[in-house]
């Protein structure tokens, strides 16, 4: 079972790799904590997939394993409705990544406009209840909604 600390460490690894690939920087408070409704910000304008990312655009990183539950189920990104709506309204972006559970190597990663992700969400949001989550509603998106399983090592098995 993966702990919250493990998930956070994996998320920081994805953030760090994202900053190496694109002109981005982490959102860090005065105490050095990365704590906001998004993770990164573009430091200068650049283009990705024929779309323009502007300096100052907010970017949220999401990662998931290639497979869960003894490799029977594809991983899913966990999307908070409140943060997602803020990201869409701010013309923000997601960095969506898929990580190999055995090596923790990022096998696929892409920068995707929040408006594109919004189009992948069917409008159905789930209530969290009182299970310890700090958000009220969320959606899980399988990574196969963005990446071709044939292009992800271990991704073709259903």
Domains of the chain, by residue range, sit at 4-149
Q: Which fold has domain 4-149?
A: Trna Endonuclease; Chain: A, domain 1 (3.40.1350)
Which of the residue ranges 71-75, 89-93, 122-126 has the most confident prediction, judged by mean pLDDT?
89-93
Q: Using 50, 70 and 90 to split pLDDT, how confident is the model at 132?
A: low
Rounded Cα–Cα distance for residues 146 and 110 (Å): 9
37-50 residue pLDDT tens: 899 999 999 999 88
Answer left, alpha or beta for residue 147, where phi above 0 means left and psi between -120 and 50 means alpha.
beta
pTM exceeds 0.95, yes or no:
no
102 pLDDT exceeds 70? yes
For the segment 24-37, the average pLDDT, to the nearest whole number, is 75
Interior/surface letters 31-47, b for 16+ CB within 10 angstroms, e for the rest: eeeeeeebbbbbeeebe
Burial class of residue 124, CB neighbours in 10 A (0-12, 13-18, 19+): exposed
Q: Using 50, 70 and 90 to split pLDDT, how confident is the model at 72?
A: confident
Rounded Cα–Cα distance for residues 106 and 135 (Å): 27
């Amino acid at each position: 079972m993966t702990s919250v600390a493990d998930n956070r460490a994996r998320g920081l690894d994805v953030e760090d790799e994202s900053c190496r690939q694109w002109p981005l920087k982490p959102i860090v408070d005065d105490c050095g904590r990365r704590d906001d409704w998004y993770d990164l910000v573009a430091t200068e304008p650049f283009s990705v997939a024929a779309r323009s990312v502007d300096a100052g655009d907010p970017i949220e990183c999401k990662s998931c394993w290639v497979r869960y539950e003894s490799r029977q189920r594809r991983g899913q990104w966990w999307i908070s409705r409140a943060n997602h709506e803020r990201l869409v309204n701010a013309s923000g972006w997601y960095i969506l990544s898929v990580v190999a559970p055995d090596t923790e190597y990022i096998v696929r990663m892409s920068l995707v406009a929040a408006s594109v992700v919004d189009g992948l969400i069917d409008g159905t949001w789930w209530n969290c209840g009182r299970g310890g989550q700090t958000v009220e509603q969320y959606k899980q998106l399988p990574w196969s909604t963005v990446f071709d399983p044939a292009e992800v090592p271990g991704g073709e098995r259903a």
